[in-house]
Amino acid sequence: MKVIAIANQKGGVGKTTYSINLSAAFALMLGYEQTNLPARVLLVDMDPQTHSVSTLAGGIFRRPDERDDKDATVTLGELLLDETSMPVAAVIKTSRIPLRGNSNLDYFPVRKAKMKSVGRLLGMEADGDFRLRYLLESISRLYQVVIIDTPPSLDVMTVSSLIAADYVIVPLHLKGFSLDGLNDLLTTVKQLQKSKNPKLQVLGLQPTMCDFRRAEEEELLSLLAEKYGSLMLPPTTNRADVEYAINEGLDIFSYRPPKGTSKNIASANPSAQEFARAAESIRGRLGI
């Protein structure tokens, strides 16, 4: 099992959109290759805003009683606070997306109020920042890839995610404030490598929501490539299709699918192509 945290304490850099589409890309790739018993992907939403799971459970604009997880009596929050005896695997739900997938993208149900409580209470527990790691270790045999969406802060939720992860991907805008957040996160990663998670590695830096009509963004990308070299992942650009897909409760590969019965994960749509390239690059680095 490979566990990847998507983290940057700077808000508005597209972490959730990236987490959803990366999870969908892996589910499609692995599902097409192993059709009888496809390898499974798990998306863990540690952001109290719960937008990732809202999308996987039917869409952010669905009423609570219309969501696919409406009947969940135990959620990720209860598991993290050790408030349930239900087996971890019994809590997990399967997402309806990606639509052309093999039903191999899973998630933990979450509730906003409960996750806000988790954010307050985990820091008071002696082993609070290791709870997510213990939880994922208990289901490691079930999943090939786990992707963790983190909040826009360096609180206990993000630190817990980094302690549970093997790798971290840092989404960033090609703007000064976002790059400042990158420096802070890389410092945190180094501290955790020395103390609580020596196996943690930076898998890549992901430029997101890019607008290369702006010369300064091209310049910043060149500077980052010069400084960080092979850590740079193929950029994704600021296209309307990505936002429209999320508004519909879909990943980009479901929103703009290939024609017919193609087994390609991406159509000719530029946004789908960009996320597919990023996912393929990450998969190559993971060696799976």
Q: pLDDT digit string (tens) for 93-139?
A: 999 999 999 999 999 999 999 999 998 998 888 889 999 999 999 99
User: Is residue 76 within 8 Å of residue 110, measured between CB atoms?
Assistant: yes
Q: In this predicted structure, what is the pLDDT of residue 38? A: 75
Q: In this predicted structure, what is the pLDDT of residue 32? A: 87
SS3 195: coil
The domain tally of the chain equals: 1
CATH of the domain at 255: 3.40.50.300
Can you list the residues of the chain whose pLDDT is less than 70? 35-36, 176-178
The pTM of the full predicted model, rounded to 2 decimals, is: 0.95
Kindly state the tokens that stand for 96: 């309806």
User: Is residue 69 within 8 Å of residue 53, measured between CB atoms?
Assistant: yes
- What range does the domain containing 194 cover? 2-286
User: Is residue 7 within 8 Å of residue 162, measured between CB atoms?
Assistant: yes
Cα angle for residues 95, 100, 101 (degrees, 5° grid): 50
Q: In this predicted structure, what is the pLDDT of residue 106? A: 98
How far is residue 221's CA from residue 274's CA, in Å, rounded to a whole number?
Answer: 16
Q: In this predicted structure, what is the pLDDT of residue 188? A: 92
Kindly state the tokens that stand for 90: 């019994």
